[in-house]
Structure 1
Amino acid sequence: METDADEVVLDAPEHFRVYKSGRIDRFHGTVLVAPGVDDASGVSSKDVVLDAGTGLSARLFLPNCQQQQQPSSCKKLPILVYFHGGGFILGSAKSATYHSYLNSLVAAAGVIAVSVEYRLAPEHRLPAAYDDCWAALQWAASAQDAWVSEHGDAASVFVAGDSAGGNIVHNVLMRASSSADDGAPRVEGAVLLHPFFGGRTAVVGETQRAVTITGKVWGFACPDAADGADDPRINPSAPGAPGLERLGCERVLVCAAEKDWLAPRARAYYNDVAASAWRGSAAWLETEGEEHVFFLHKPECDRAKALMDRVVAFIAGA
């Protein structure tokens, strides 16, 4: 017999379904793969527990060239800390989608990557994911793992993420700035891929449907937010939000897709960063004719390859 608790309050076909009771059915991103050596790229991966108390873990990726040399003769690699997407509700560093993407990115960019397996809502409402990703960044920069200490360059740390992961990138950067006097890691650059931002009032080019969807997802992931969708963590330009000049990195690349319903928010974010008193450099890339996170679903298409090339060039300093 169906009860009020069985009422569906948020339904994203093919992705997830949320019930009034707080129960969630996840349909997307649940196919997990084991770490190992990728036949196509030669990239090696392994899983590491970062905090046994919270269950925080990460999947580490190491490019093939580093496996064929002695540590003393290896060039130190940039360290990339990656935050997956999924609306704070879905996704896993161990999913087939993200495992494949990180293999490709690590091989192309020549970095050692730490893909964070952060806690998900509703079982762990925000700020759990923010706290996990901040802890993972600190862990990576402190080079506690042998792969990171032998092959990683702690002076060249990058953060990147897609969708909700792009939102996490912003929030980690703001925390890095506010924690600078407490030994926060120095972040050289950040890549926000189709970031998940929202707000109560539509920005230029944003539909009311987009406002409604982001508000619902945010309200489910962070029900304690006093300002709702104008909480500064989801709307960095909300009244009273900390100034974007506080971003704790030197360079930022913001990427969007033309047909993505989140693109207007990403564009507004980039414009606000560029117009702020932040002393870093901001770059913008919009892919024509594509949808949200298309590069994860169509990695072999020309536009996905072009986006990969731009991210690789950004990490290299171009």
Structure 2
Amino acid sequence: MASAGKKIERPVMDNPFLNIKVNPDGSVKRDPETRNPANPDPNVAGAVLSKDLPLDANKKTWLRLYIPRQVEIPSSSSKLPVIIYYHGGGFVFCNADSAVYDVFCKGLVEKVGVMVISLDYRLAPEHRLPAAYEDAMDGLYWIKSVKDEWLSQYADLSNCFLCGTSAGGNLAYHAGLMAAAAAMKLRPVKINGLILHHPYFSGTKRTESEENLKNDPLLPLYSIDQMFDLSLPEGADHDHEYCNPLVNGGSKNIDLMKAMGWRVLVTGCFDDPLMDAGLECAKMLEGKGMQTVKFFSDGYHGMEVFDASMSGPLYDFIKDFVQCRSNE
């Protein structure tokens, strides 16, 4: 874990978390955002190729697949590790093709040396949790069964990691709990670990970082609370298991993860109100005997997504984490 140093300035940007407007019908007003199209054409410039494929037409869910442009068709023993990625946005905002998340996924492919599959899941409050978790499981079964040439040629399905940023980190954790219980059914997809990037957890008892950073300009405490109020099941408080992973000492499915040798990487930044909740989750996992690695550094919530120039150290750490698993 890195030590705290000078304060890193946040970039100026539109921030949907500061002014959440709920419509009379219970939906949320979402302002237009920059969204990047897929780039499947090898003749178009770029280090990474991507393409979109449907997941469930009824749910309007879909996936964006990424591979390195220069990748050669590997042998079965040298295929790419797979990162299944879940975007952030408090379960209320953003999509898999949101520009900041598209750029972040391209960086994972280029700098970590993996294939990425990014899920566009249903958003709250129109679709409250566990809808997003169920979409994540749909995605894993899709990966198991689909006959896509990129998957068959490049993906090492025996070496998969669930990864997400902010709400996506929460999603990766809960999808991991569900996937651990369904491990036999998911074969040949084999998950080897979780990468929780600035995970979105909270609880009724305030952490020190929430109190100290309650007026954070990017993610103030009231917006953390409001997005959980909009995404949790109706009537649930913030000690619901979907919000607080420490409830009842943690899920029993953690024992299944441990038995299968999963590892967990928890990352965060010192100027993030969610930092302590991420650390408490990591501590809980360690207490249950999970192989847990922490990477905390100077910066603010979602820093490496919002400012690509700050992402290098994180990509390096994720690469070491994935390669460690690959070499065991």
Query: TM bucket by the smaller chain?
Result: 0.7 to 0.9
1:187 to 188, 191, 197: 191
Identity of aligned pairs, percent?
A: 30
- Residues paired across the two proteins, number: 298
* Residue 190 of structure 1: how far off its partner (Å): 1.2
CA distance in 2: counterparts of 1:211 and 1:12, whole angstroms: 10
**For 1:140-151, what aligned pairs fall within 5 Å after superposition?**
140-151=143-154
Gaps of at least 5 residues in structure 1 are 1-10
Indicate yes or no: 2:235 matched with 1:235.
no
Cα deviation per residue 1:178-234 (whole Å; 9 max; x = unaligned)?
A: 2235446421121100000011112454428476543332121124254x1111111
Tell me the SS of whatever aligns to 1:311. helix
CA distance in 2, matches of 1:271, 1:285: 13
Out of 289, 293, 318, the residue aligned to residue 283 of structure 1 is 293
2:37 to 21, 34, 52: 34
**In the superposition, relative to structure 1, how do residues 40 and 283 fare at CA in structure 2: closer, same or farther (>3 Å)?**
farther
**Residue segments in structure 2 that go unaligned for 5+ positions in a row:** 1-15, 215-219
Per the alignment, residue 305 of structure 1 pairs with 312
Provide the secondary structure at the position in 2 that maps to 1:167: helix
CA distance in 1, matches of 2:30, 2:194: 29
CA contact (8 A) 1:41 1:107 kept: no
Corresponding position of 1:52? 57
Q: How does 1:17-96 map to 2 (within 5 A)?
A: 17-19=21-23, 21-27=25-31, 30-36=33-39, 41-66=46-71, 69-70=72-73, 75-96=78-99
Which residue identity is paired with 2:262?
E
**CA drift at 1:143:** 5.0
Higher relative contact order (CA 8 A, sep 6+): 2
Residue aligning to 2:224: 214
The correspondence of residues 84-163 of structure 1 with structure 2, limited to 5 A, is: 84-163=87-166
- How many angstroms does 1:79 deviate by? 1.2
Q: Does 1:314 align with 2:321?
A: yes
Residue identity matched to 2:47: G
Deviation per CA, 1:3-59: give whole Å up to 9, x if none: xxxxxxxx8326x4224542322237x211211159775210000002222222011
Kept in 1: contact 2:272–2:301 (CA 8 A): yes
On the 8 A contact 2:18/2:223 being kept in 1, the answer is no
- SS of the residue corresponding to residue 261 of structure 1 reads coil
Contact persistence 2:270–2:300 (CA under 8 A)? yes
- The code of the aligned residue for 2:149 comes to A
Secondary structure, aligned partner of 1:99: helix
Q: Deviations over 1:135-157 (max 9, x none)?
A: 11222244532111111011111
Is 1:270 paired with 2:282?
A: yes
- 2:265 and 2:287 mapped to 1: Cα distance? 15
Larger displacement relative to structure 2 (176-185 or 155-164): 176-185
d(CA) in 1 for partners of 2:222 and 2:21? 16
- TM-superposed CA distance for 1:70, in Å, is 4.4
Give the conservation status (yes or no) of the 8 Å contact 2:232–2:242: no
Match of 1:177 in 2: 180
After superposition, what is the alpha-carbon deviation per residue over 1:37-90, rounded to whole angstroms, capped at 9, x for unaligned? 597752100000022222220111011122xx3466993111110000000001
- 1:220 counterpart SS class: helix
Q: Distance in 2 between matches of 1:212 and 1:92?
A: 23
**Counterparts of 2:54 and 2:197, CA distance in 1:** 26
Q: In structure 2, what is the equivalent of residue 250 of structure 1?
A: 262
Distance in 1 (alpha carbons) for counterparts of 2:149 and 2:204: 46
SS at match of 1:138: helix
Amino acid at match of 1:254: V
